[in-house]
Amino acid sequence: VGELLHKAQPDIILVTDFGYDRLGGSAEKFLELPGIALTPAAKNGRIYRVEEHDLIYFGPRTGKNIRALAELIHR
């Protein structure tokens, strides 16, 4: 996964709580994945942990979740 992200050169990386916490719950552990530290997102501190249910599932809070996501992206 890290190598694919490196090739994509993303400006922002969103990581679900499940994946982030599975790696130990720290940015340092996530950056140890091959290629991640070389992305513009990592270099600019734009890797964000987001709650999976807020990102993937739709419901009454979807509008609020979209606004929160937009605020993260447009910081």
The verdict on pTM exceeding 0.85 is: no
* Domain region containing 6: 2-73
How would residue 1 be classed by pLDDT, with cut points 50, 70 and 90? low
Structural domains of the chain, count: 1
And the tokens for 22? 């599975």
Rounded Cα distance between 62 and 52, Å, is 12
- Across the chain, mean pLDDT equals 87
CATH number of the domain where residue 19 is located: 3.40.50.1980
pLDDT level of residue 9 (50, 70, 90 thresholds): very high
Of 12, 15, 13, the C-alpha closest to 52 is 15
**% of the chain residues with pLDDT over 90:** 37
Query: At residue 36, what is the residue type?
Result: I
